[in-house]
Chain A
Amino acid sequence: MNDLARSQNQETFVLNLGPQHPATHGVLRVKLTMDGEYVVHAEPVLGYVHRMHEKMGENRTWAQFMPNTARLDYLGALSYNHGYVKVVEQAMGIEVPERAEYLRVITVELNRIASHLLWYGAFVLDLGGFTPLLYAFDDREHVLDLLESVTGSRLTFCYFRFGGLYNDVDDNFVGGARAFIKRLRRRLPDYHNLVTKNIILIKRLKDVGVLSAEMCRKYGATGPVLRGSGVDYDVRRNEPYSVYPELDFEVPVYGEGDSMARYMVRMDEIEQCMRIVEQALDKLPEGPVVAEKVPKILKPPPGDYYSAVEAARGTFGIRIVSDGTNTPYRMKLRSPTFSNLSLFGEASRGMLLPDALALMGSLDLVIPEIDR
């Protein structure tokens, strides 16, 4: 009698999903207690890519922490750049020139599109469809080319600086961004016809993994997960920052709370991002891209500062405590997918394994950001 036969005498068995499993996108491990194909209990085990980013922050100067922010959520790195420079600027009282703010919004939104495109592909891949991933990558490549031409990197951007940007953009970028949006507008119908309207996908996502607004609140879920459960909350609109108030965009909200709703929120968000980028390009003022009076050595006045931005996966909050020296005293990062993942244990109870994985995919997890 082999091991498995012996464990059959029990009612349930433990299935280790990960840390190396195709569906966990990295090194997340979920300990599943299974009854046949039904999940009885799911326990995410974290920490496989823990790199002590918060502690690292305490050991380097304010400026030197910049590259770390790009390595939390490497798929939407610019939002994290933004969150960090924003909180330090707030502490220092630095005014950012308008042009820089507009360019920040443009690049962040382009980055959000890239992130959602990747999620779209990876999610459908979780559901067993391989081809949409490659189509999404094709488009994402174009965004990354654009971002590379201004920031110099394709993934782990380190583009924003306290008081502005690393460097200005040129007309090529503006033209390129418009061309890309035109291209994506042409491609999106294909995405919807190939995937969104596909009966197999609808059957897999509709009414699967329903999260109530209450559960989202309980676990602090944010971003598309929260908005897919009918809660109309977006930091860009509810706690406006940068030049978002001057731009006209909608916050897509779906009330169903199932995986399909989260899918639709993100797909609609791509469209809204395009709108934001277009408007920002139209309004892009001339002027400097770095504030004039940014001290060489940063020493924010002692105090406790918090600031949040809407990253591709939800609210990225960052709290810094300064003791007036040139290194942070404490740095606390609130990463959205950590909260989004924590509801998985409760939400997946009683689900079939493929449905639970669809739910996990719809949470859009980026493991390095959870583990930090």
Chain B
Amino acid sequence: MILSEPWRLLVFVAGIIAFIALNAAYLVWLERKVAGHIQRRIGPKEVGPFGLLQPLADGIKLMSKQLLVPKGVDPLLFKVAPLLVLVPAVMSFVTIPFSEKLVARNIDIGLLMIFAFASVNVMGLLLGGWGSNNKYAVISAARAVSQNVAYEIPMLITVVTMIMLTHTMNLNEIVIQQAGGVWNWHIFANPLMPIAFLIFFICSLAETNRAPFDLGEAESELIAGFHTEYSGMGFGVFFMGEYANIIIGCGLATILFLGGWQCPFGILPGWWWFLAKVYFLIFCVMWIRWTYPRTTLWGLLNLSWKILIPFSLLILLLTGAMIKVWPLITGAS
């Protein structure tokens, strides 16, 4: 069935929203299960088999709760902020290729667009924190902003390296370049790429405010950070946005480094492989969260400025050298 372009886009966006909502619900379930087993307990198990209906129960609970708007908040900012977190995430999904055909809009600057939208996300946190009229929330919002700014730099440098390597910002094309077996994945393109992958992964952890970089939420310091004052679906939307951002972070890592929807063995459709890789990365994100204590803001900035940025710059330079200088040497001989 061929749909005209606007309709196709609409169907995809609806699909993406459903995907995000469902994912947020079941990632929470997964997170609780992973946390449970790491801590040698079971996790949710009462509602439905293996607790599989727990997200449904939680969703109903969140939706049926009153949307409390506390006294003294800025009503407009307070209500808009959760959407400012969720909507950019939805927009970013538009360019992510789930398989060769399964992509809402295959545009040439997909990578750029995702990063453009990713910076809007932090705006949502800032406004939510500021609009809440809560000191904890303001501290948290300020933290989230400085953290995001600091980590965007090494992340973008790594992405620039990738663009130099692939000569394109079209995500689907990047994936297509990695066809033909595990060894063609960009993570193995040259010896520096595993480090680049690591940097990218750490940065996406920090960008999505995940532990050990969950300074914005730091429950033992700031109660619940920027969403302290949110109840019901306001909180729910923040949550969905957060998990959507995790999927985007892991999805990008998969596309850029792990071959996207390319399957190493030629079995099963592409989207299956894409999701498998993404969920594996998400599992790692959870695994990390339930292992480490939280860093402080200084620790975080130190890591960014003293380790990640120098290393990513080094990789950028070396990759550039490899691309430009190496052919000259070999070509000259």
Contact flag (A, B; Cβ within 8 A): yes
Given A128-B220, A352-B298, do A195 and B293 touch, yes or no (CB 8 Å)?
Answer: yes
Give the residue name and chain of the A residue nearest to B77 (CB). A2
**Bound complex: CA of A131 vs CA of B73, how far in Å?**
35
Stretch at the interface among A104-112, A160-168, A199-207, A306-314: A199-207
The reply to whether A37 and B139 form a contact with Cβ atoms under 8 Å apart is yes
Selected from B135, B297, B299, the residue in CB contact (under 8 A) with A200 is B299
The reply to whether B41 and A128 form a contact with Cβ atoms under 8 Å apart is no
Chain B interface main SS type? loop
The reply to whether B293 and A204 form a contact with Cβ atoms under 8 Å apart is yes
The reply to whether B135 and A15 form a contact with Cβ atoms under 8 Å apart is yes
Q: Does A302 contact B (CB under 8 A)?
A: no
Selected from A13, A135, A198, A353, the residue in CB contact (under 8 A) with B293 is A198
- Residues of chain A within 8 A (CB-CB) of B214 are 128
Q: Does A22 contact B (CB under 8 A)?
A: yes
Given A3-B133, A13-B135, A354-B218, do A134 and B39 touch, yes or no (CB 8 Å)?
Answer: yes
- Residues of chain A within 8 A (CB-CB) of B40 are 134-135, 138
**Bound complex: CA of A357 vs CA of B215, how far in Å?**
14
**Bound complex: CA of A21 vs CA of B223, how far in Å?**
7
- Residues of chain A within 8 A (CB-CB) of B298 are 352
- Residues of chain B within 8 A (CB-CB) of A93 are none
Chain A interface main SS type? helix
The reply to whether A354 and B73 form a contact with Cβ atoms under 8 Å apart is no
The 8 A CB mask of A235-260 against B (1 = contact, 0 = none) is 00000000000000000000000000
The reply to whether A23 and B220 form a contact with Cβ atoms under 8 Å apart is yes
The 8 A CB mask of B289-312 against A (1 = contact, 0 = none) is 011111111110000000000000
A147 to chain B, nearest CB (A): 22
- Residues of chain B within 8 A (CB-CB) of A127 are 220, 293-294
- Residues of chain A within 8 A (CB-CB) of B223 are 21-22
Q: Does A294 contact B (CB under 8 A)?
A: no
Give the residue name and chain of the A residue nearest to B134 (CB). A4
* Contact residues, B260-314 vs A (CB, 8 A): 290-299
The 8 A CB mask of A98-131 against B (1 = contact, 0 = none) is 0000000000000000000000000011111111
The reply to whether B297 and A37 form a contact with Cβ atoms under 8 Å apart is yes
Q: Does A194 contact B (CB under 8 A)?
A: yes
Given A4-B138, A134-B41, do A352 and B294 touch, yes or no (CB 8 Å)?
Answer: no
The reply to whether B297 and A352 form a contact with Cβ atoms under 8 Å apart is yes
- Residues of chain B within 8 A (CB-CB) of A124 are 293
The reply to whether A2 and B293 form a contact with Cβ atoms under 8 Å apart is no
B250 to chain A, nearest CB (A): 21
The reply to whether A200 and B221 form a contact with Cβ atoms under 8 Å apart is no
Give the residue name and chain of the B residue nearest to A208 (CB). B296
Q: Does A369 contact B (CB under 8 A)?
A: no
- Residues of chain B within 8 A (CB-CB) of A129 are 291-294
The reply to whether A204 and B220 form a contact with Cβ atoms under 8 Å apart is no
The 8 A CB mask of B213-225 against A (1 = contact, 0 = none) is 0100011110100
Q: Does B331 contact A (CB under 8 A)?
A: no
The reply to whether B292 and A357 form a contact with Cβ atoms under 8 Å apart is no
A165 to chain B, nearest CB (A): 34
**Bound complex: CA of A194 vs CA of B143, how far in Å?**
27
The reply to whether A131 and B72 form a contact with Cβ atoms under 8 Å apart is no
**Bound complex: CA of A126 vs CA of B298, how far in Å?**
17
The 8 A CB mask of B189-218 against A (1 = contact, 0 = none) is 000000000000000000000011010001
Q: Does A355 contact B (CB under 8 A)?
A: yes
The 8 A CB mask of B12-56 against A (1 = contact, 0 = none) is 000000000000000000000001001111000000000000000
Q: Does B74 contact A (CB under 8 A)?
A: yes
**Bound complex: CA of A134 vs CA of B136, how far in Å?**
27
Given A128-B218, A352-B298, do A200 and B293 touch, yes or no (CB 8 Å)?
Answer: yes
**Bound complex: CA of A126 vs CA of B41, how far in Å?**
21
- Residues of chain A within 8 A (CB-CB) of B39 are 130-131, 134-135
Give the residue name and chain of the B residue nearest to A1 (CB). B74
B198 to chain A, nearest CB (A): 15
The reply to whether A354 and B291 form a contact with Cβ atoms under 8 Å apart is no
Selected from B134, B291, B295, the residue in CB contact (under 8 A) with A203 is B295
Give the residue name and chain of the B residue nearest to A24 (CB). B220
- Residues of chain B within 8 A (CB-CB) of A204 are 293, 295-296, 299
- Residues of chain A within 8 A (CB-CB) of B133 are 2-4
- Residues of chain A within 8 A (CB-CB) of B74 are 2
- Residues of chain A within 8 A (CB-CB) of B35 are 130-131
The reply to whether A131 and B38 form a contact with Cβ atoms under 8 Å apart is yes
The reply to whether B291 and A131 form a contact with Cβ atoms under 8 Å apart is yes
- Residues of chain A within 8 A (CB-CB) of B134 are 4
* Contact residues, B138-176 vs A (CB, 8 A): 138-139, 142-143
**Bound complex: CA of A195 vs CA of B212, how far in Å?**
13
The reply to whether B218 and A203 form a contact with Cβ atoms under 8 Å apart is no
Most buried by A among B41, B211, B295: B295
The reply to whether B292 and A354 form a contact with Cβ atoms under 8 Å apart is no
- Residues of chain A within 8 A (CB-CB) of B73 are 2
**Bound complex: CA of A221 vs CA of B292, how far in Å?**
31
Extra contacts besides A3-B133, A37-B297, A130-B35 (10): CB < 8 Å: A2-B133, A4-B138, A34-B135, A126-B220, A128-B211, A128-B214, A131-B39, A200-B293, A200-B294, A204-B299
20 examples of A-B residue contacts, CB within 8 angstroms: A2-B73, A4-B72, A4-B135, A15-B136, A22-B220, A23-B221, A126-B220, A128-B219, A129-B291, A131-B39, A131-B290, A134-B40, A135-B39, A135-B40, A200-B299, A201-B293, A352-B297, A353-B139, A353-B221, A355-B296
Chain A positions within 8 Å of B, measured between CB atoms, are 2-4, 13, 15, 21-23, 34, 36-37, 124-131, 134-135, 138, 194-195, 198, 200-201, 203-204, 352-355, 357
Chain B positions within 8 Å of A, measured between CB atoms, are 35, 38-41, 72-74, 133-136, 138-139, 142-143, 211-212, 214, 218-221, 223, 290-299
